[in-house]
Amino acid sequence: MTAAAAVPIRERVAETSFDVERIRRDFPILQTKVHGHPLVYLDNAATSQKPQSVIDAQVRYYEGENANIHRGVHYLSELATAEFEKARATVRAFVNAARSSEIVFTRGTTESLNLVAQTYGRANLGPGDEVLITAMEHHSNIVPWQMLCEEKGAKLRVAPINDEGELLFADYEKLIGPKTRVVAVGHVSNALGTINPLKDMIAVAHAKGAVVVVDGAQAVPHLKVDVQALDADFYAFSGHKMYGPTGIGVLYGKQALLEAMPPWQGGGDMISSVTFEKTTYNKVPHKFEAGTPDMAGVAGLKAAIEYMNGIGIEKIAAHEHDLLEYATEVIGAIEGVRLIGTAREKAGVLSFVLDEVHPHDIGTILDQQGIAVRTGHHCAQPVMERFGIPATVRASFAAYNTKAEVDALARGIRKVSEVFA
Amino acid sequence: MPELRDLYQEVILEHSKAPRNYKALESADHKAEGYNPLCGDRFTVYLEMDGDKIREIGFQGAGCAISKASASMMTQSVKGKTKEEAEKIFHRFHELVTGHSHEDTAELGKLAVFSGVSEFPVRVKCATLAWHTLEAALEGKQEKVSTE
C-alpha cells in the first residue's frame, strides 16, 4: 500500500460518530497498567474484555435471582426461570432465529460443535460418507469431525485456500459430492480474519443435500449475523468473545433438525419422564441442556447482547473495519513485516510475521510495553502450515480499541526490530 | 520491573542468529525430537556417543531466539562431557532459569547469561526445550518430547 492511501483512512476514523472514549469507560479492566504502561489490549479474538453492565448482570443474578430453573414452584425459581428464558429470546433476536426453541445454551463454540458432531453427526454419518471443512478452520472445527469420521469410517475432506487466505470457492463446490453429509465451516477465520462467503457456501451445499454447521465464534462479535438469511442449519458461537462471560455459548439449530437429533448428555432438565425401563426426552432446546446450566453466565450473555445492541452492531463493525484498515496500512508499512491473511473481506484480525524474529519473542517485547497480542499458531496449525510459518503475531480488535493503540503497536514492533538489530 | 536486555542479552541474540553445531549428525547414534506446542518450537538433537561421553552433538529446528540460543549454547557446554555431567549441568541450568539457583553459577560458565529468563516465567519452556530434548536423546527415548 502507498503512503498516500493512509490519509483518507485516517479521516474516515475521525468521521465516525462512534464515541470510543465513552465505550472505553465501560470496561474497568482497560484502566490496568502493565509494566508501567497503559494496557493496550489487542487479543480480542482470544477473548474480549467485559463491560461493567455484563459484570453487574452476573452479580445481580447471584444477589437477587439465584435459584435452580425449570423445577421449583417458589418465587426465586420462577424468577430465575423467567430471566433464563428471557435471555434465550434475546439471543434469538440477536441472530434472528425463527424461534427461541432453536437456541441451545452450551459452554461455548467448542461444545456447540461437539454437540452437533456427536448427535446429528453420529446419527447421520456412515462408512464412506464425507464431512467437508476448509483449510482455515480452528482446531475446534477440525477435531470433533476427525473424531466422528474415525468412529464412523467416514472421510474428512478439506477445501483449499489461496495465498491471501481466501476460500477457493470452485474447489470447495467441487468437493461437495453425493456422499457429503456435513459441511463445517468458519464464518470468520480466527487466524487470518477472512470473512467467508457464507451465504453462497451454504446455498451450494444445500443444493447437494449437505447440512451446514457454522463456527461463528469470530463472526458474532464483529458482524450482524442473521441465521435465517444465511439459511444456516447450525450456527455456534461463544459469549466470551462478544463482551460476555466465559463458560457460556450458543448452538443455534433449525427446529426440525434439533427435533430429529438424539440427545447428547443425559441428566436433569433434558427429560420429560424417567423410569428404570425408559426415559422420554424433553422438547427442544431442553433436550440438549442436561444438568443445571450456567444461569449467571446466561444473564451476562444477555447483558452483553444488550450492550452491543446499545452501541449498534453496524457501528461496531464500521469502527473495527476502519481500525483494521488503518492497522493494515500502518503495520504493513513497517520494514520486515509480512501480513498473513490479506483477504478482501476481513474482520477484526491482523496477523503478521516480522523478518527472522520469532512471534514469541515479539510477544514478550510487546508485553513489556503493555501491549497484549496473541503469538502462536492460534489453534489453527494447518493454517500455519499452509503459509509455511510456525506461528504469527495476531492483533485483534474490539469496539474499544483506538487508532492510538494501533500506533502503540507500531512503536512496539519497531522496538522489537531495535532489540534484534 | 524486568528489563528486556536481561532476557535478550547480546550473547543470546548472537547465538540465535548464528547457532553453533547447527547440523544433523549423520554419525548420530542417539537422536530425539522436542516440541513446544504452545509456540510451535521444534528441535532435533543428535548425539554421537563414545561410551558414556558425548563425542559429537548437533541440533536442528525452528524456534524463538531464547530456545535457539539455548540449544546452541547447550551444544557447546555439553560437548565432551559424560552423560552424568551433562545432566548435572542441565539441573543447574534449570535452577538458574526458574530462579531457584542458590549456589554460585560460576560452573555454568557462559550459560549464566540465561539468568534473565527467571524474570519471564512463560519463557522458561523456551530456554529448557533443547535440554529436555538432549535428556531424551541421552536416555535413548524414541518418542517425541513435549514441554506440555
Domain positions in chain A: 3-31+312-415, 54-310
Percent of chain B with pLDDT over 70: 91
DSSP A374-404: EEE-TT-HHHHHHTT-S-EEEEE--TT--HH
State if pTM tops 0.95: no
| Candidates B4, B41, B63; nearest CB to A419 | B4
Are B39 and A375 in contact (CB < 8 Å)? yes
For residue A269, what pLDDT is reported?
Answer: 84
| Candidates B13, B39, B65; nearest CB to A391 | B39
How far is the C-alpha of A296 from the C-alpha of A96, rounded, in Å?
23
A283: left (phi over 0), alpha (psi -120 to 50) or beta: beta
Report the range of poorest mean pLDDT among A68-82, A199-213, A301-315.
A68-82
Contact status of B120 with chain A (Cβ, < 8 Å): yes
User: How do residues B64-91 score in pLDDT, each as one tens digit?
Assistant: 999 999 999 999 999 999 999 999 999 9
| Candidates A365, A376, A381; nearest CB to B38 | A376
Most trustworthy range by pLDDT among A153-162, A265-274, B2-11, B36-45: A153-162
User: How do residues A198-231 score in pLDDT, each as one tens digit?
Assistant: 999 999 999 999 999 999 999 999 999 999 999 9
Percent of chain B with pLDDT over 90: 78
For residue B148, what pLDDT is reported?
Answer: 61
Are A376 and B1 in contact (CB < 8 Å)? no
pLDDT at A4 over 50: no
For residue A17, what pLDDT is reported?
Answer: 73
Contact status of A377 with chain B (Cβ, < 8 Å): yes
Are B40 and A357 in contact (CB < 8 Å)? no
User: Cβ atoms within 10 A of the Cβ of B124, count?
Assistant: 18
Contact status of A357 with chain B (Cβ, < 8 Å): yes
User: How do residues B122-142 score in pLDDT, each as one tens digit?
Assistant: 899 999 999 999 999 999 865
> What's the CATH class of domain A3-31+312-415?
alpha beta
Contact status of A420 with chain B (Cβ, < 8 Å): yes
How far is the C-alpha of A397 from the C-alpha of A406, rounded, in Å?
10
Mutate to test the interface with A, among B1, B4, B118 (most CBs of A within 10 A): B4
For residue B73, what pLDDT is reported?
Answer: 97
| Candidates B4, B13, B63; nearest CB to A368 | B4
Query: The C-alpha cell of A135 is what?
Result: 483449510
Are A358 and B13 in contact (CB < 8 Å)? no
pLDDT at B106 over 80: no
Name residue, grid cell 426440525.
A256
Pick A7 or A74 by higher pLDDT.
Answer: A74
User: How do residues A232-281 score in pLDDT, each as one tens digit?
Assistant: 999 999 999 999 999 999 999 999 999 999 999 998 888 888 888 888 99
pLDDT at A2 over 50: no
For residue B40, what pLDDT is reported?
Answer: 77
Q: Which positions in chain B touch A355 (Cβ < 8 Å)?
A: none
| Candidates A375, A376, A390; nearest CB to B62 | A390
pLDDT at A321 over 70: yes
What was the ipTM of the complex prediction? 0.86
Mutate to test the interface with B, among A360, A385, A415 (most CBs of B within 10 A): A360
* Domains of chain B (ranges, CATH numbers): 10-140 (3.90.1010.10)
For residue B141, what pLDDT is reported?
Answer: 60
pLDDT at B55 over 80: yes
pLDDT at A73 over 70: yes
Contact status of B4 with chain A (Cβ, < 8 Å): yes
Contact status of B65 with chain A (Cβ, < 8 Å): yes
Catalytic residues of A: 379
For residue A410, what pLDDT is reported?
Answer: 98
How far is the C-alpha of A70 from the C-alpha of A52, rounded, in Å?
28
CA angle A14, A17, A20 (to 5 degrees): 75
For residue B110, what pLDDT is reported?
Answer: 92
Are B4 and A360 in contact (CB < 8 Å)? no
Given this chain, do its domains A3-31+312-415 and A54-310 carry the same CATH topology? no
Q: Which CATH architecture has domain A54-310?
A: 3-Layer(aba) Sandwich (3.40)
End-to-end CA distance of chain A, in Å?
A: 25
Interface of A with B in 234-293 (CB under 8 A): none
Q: Which positions in chain A touch B121 (Cβ < 8 Å)?
A: none
What DSSP state is assigned to residue A127?
T
DSSP B56-92: EEEEEEE--HHHHHHHHHHHHHHTT-BHHHHHHHHHH
For residue A409, what pLDDT is reported?
Answer: 98
Alpha helices by DSSP H, listed for A16-74, are 20-25, 52-60
Report the range of poorest mean pLDDT among A200-214, A312-326, B48-62, B101-115.
B101-115
For residue A10, what pLDDT is reported?
Answer: 46
Per-residue confidence band for A390, with pLDDT thresholds at 50, 70 and 90: confident
Pick B145 or B9 by higher pLDDT.
Answer: B9
